[in-house]
Amino acid sequence: AKVGGRSQIRFFDPSMTRDLTHRRKIETELRLALSRDELSVYFQPIVDLETGRIRCFEALVRWFHPTKGEIPPDQFIPIAEECGAIATLGNWLTGEAARTAAKWPDDIRLAVNLSPTQIKAPGAALGILRAIRDAGLAPERLELEITENLFLEDSPDIALFIADLSRAGVRFALDDFGIGYSSLGYINQWPFSKIKVDRSFVSGAQAGRKSDAIIRAVSQMGQTLGIEIVAEGLETIEQVEAVQSAGCTLGQGYHFSRAVPAYQAALLLAEDRAT
Ligand code: C2E
Ligand code: CA
Ligand code: CA
Ligand code: CA
């Protein structure tokens, strides 16, 4: 049976993550999860709003626990970051996702989320390049999604990491734009090829004229700087039309597709090519 609502997952209630013994339990379970094959990678399409065609898939990790059901990434990624398991998880996910993406047409990119702690690990850039090389995915087809949290501490490791990967052809996307400090300095300083506007600016009743104006301004900036703007969390055709008329060129959200397993991603691509 499919385990639905996130509220059902009491064991992983975020308020409990402060409890050390509880956290240890998740840590242990998480380390086991990799060896037990409980983790998988799902893929959510990022679509060209003009043509409706798929341009990219974002890899999103999924944990199907044998007794607790599906555990959302928001509840275990932060713990994996704290306990250091994120390095193992991230390396595994990058390899797994890249092996899938290597089978797609050459013009379809793969986007992978990176945690700040993952980047700080020694040899992180090399690890990523090795993982995609082994999988047969060209670096130009990889896009790493990072959030501005990464830049809060001005670490030289981060500059090196980004420089090394950019030189190899890997692209960077600024994720969850608009909800943090959103310093335009980050956009000025780092070579982003995409900015993903957080879903709070498109979804829900609170999204209105103000959100539209923000998306319009970001899109205009993107156009001037040659950075593509992605609207996240598009659930309805109205939202799609709103962000498109505000100048957004790419979109992602349940309106197009949820994150799906690899075989379904391949089907979506085949459908896309057939029309
Ligand atoms: P994110 O990177 O902002 O990913 C987008 C999240 O929004 C995903 O949730 C996706 O399923 C969800 N989403 C997409 N379209 C819609 C929509 O139309 N409506 C709504 N309500 N939601 C939508 P998910 O998969 O639960 O991931 C949550 C967060 O967990 C991600 O946010 C990312 O920060 C983190 N995460 C997920 N997978 C990974 C991973 O492999 N590595 C790392 N480091 N973080 C990950
Ligand atoms: Ca993301
Ligand atoms: Ca996001
Ligand atoms: Ca997020």
If one compares 78 and 260, the residue with the highest pLDDT of the two is 260
pLDDT for residue 5 is more than 80? no
Of the candidates 210, 221, 130, the residue with the CA atom closest to the CA atom of residue 170: 130
CA of 108 to the centre of ligand 1 (A): 20
End-to-end CA separation in angstroms for the chain: 34
The residue whose two tokens read 């939202």 is 239
- The ipTM assigned to this model is 0.96
Residue 204 has pLDDT above 60, yes or no: no
* Confidence at residue 275, expressed as pLDDT on a 0 to 100 scale: 75
- Tell me the sheet residues that pair with 71: 63
Average pLDDT over the chain, rounded to an integer: 88
Residue among 113, 120, 145, 258 whose CB has most ligand 1 atoms within 8 A, to mutate: 113
Contact status, residue 61 vs residue 41, Cβ threshold 8 Å: yes
**What is the distance between the alpha carbons of residues 108 and 160, in angstroms, rounded to a whole number?**
27
User: Which amino acid is located at 193 in the chain?
Assistant: S
Could you write out the DSSP letters of every residue in 146-206?
A: E-GGGGSS--HHHHHHHHHHHHHT-EEEEEEETSS---HHHHHHS-EEEEEE-GGGTSSTT
pLDDT of residue 118: 87
Distance from Cα 274 to the centre of ligand 4, integer Å: 33
Q: Which residues pair with 43 in a beta bridge?
A: 59, 260
* Per-residue pLDDT reduced to its tens digit, 52-68: 999 999 999 999 999 98
Residue 7: pLDDT band by 50, 70, 90 thresholds? very low
Tell me what the mean pLDDT of segment 24-50 comes to. Answer: 91
Ligand nearest to the CA of 85: 1
Q: C-alpha angle 50/51/53, rounded to 5°?
A: 125
Nearest CA to ligand 1 atom 15: 253
- As a whole-number percent, the residues of the chain with pLDDT over 70 amount to 91
Question: If you measure from the C-alpha of residue 104 to the centroid of ligand 3, how many angstroms do you get, rounded to a whole number?
Answer: 23
Rounded CA separation 67/211 (Å): 41
Q: What confidence score (pLDDT) does residue 194 get? A: 96
What average pLDDT does range 87-104 have in this prediction?
95
Confirm if 156 and 127 have CB atoms less than 8 A apart: no
Report which of residues 22 and 118 the model is more confident about.
Answer: 118
Q: What is the tens place of the pLDDT at every residue in 211-252?
A: 888 889 999 999 999 999 999 999 999 999 999 999 999 999
Ligand 1 proximal residues by C-beta, below 6 Å: 44, 59-61, 72-74, 77, 93, 113-115, 145, 175-176, 233-235, 252-254, 259
Local confidence band at 9 (pLDDT 50, 70, 90 cut-offs): very low
All residues at 6 or more sequence positions from 130 whose CB lies less than 8 Å from its CB, including other chains: none
Better pLDDT: 263 or 123: 263
Residue to probe by mutation, ligand 1, list 77, 96, 112, 255, most atoms within 8 Å of CB: 77
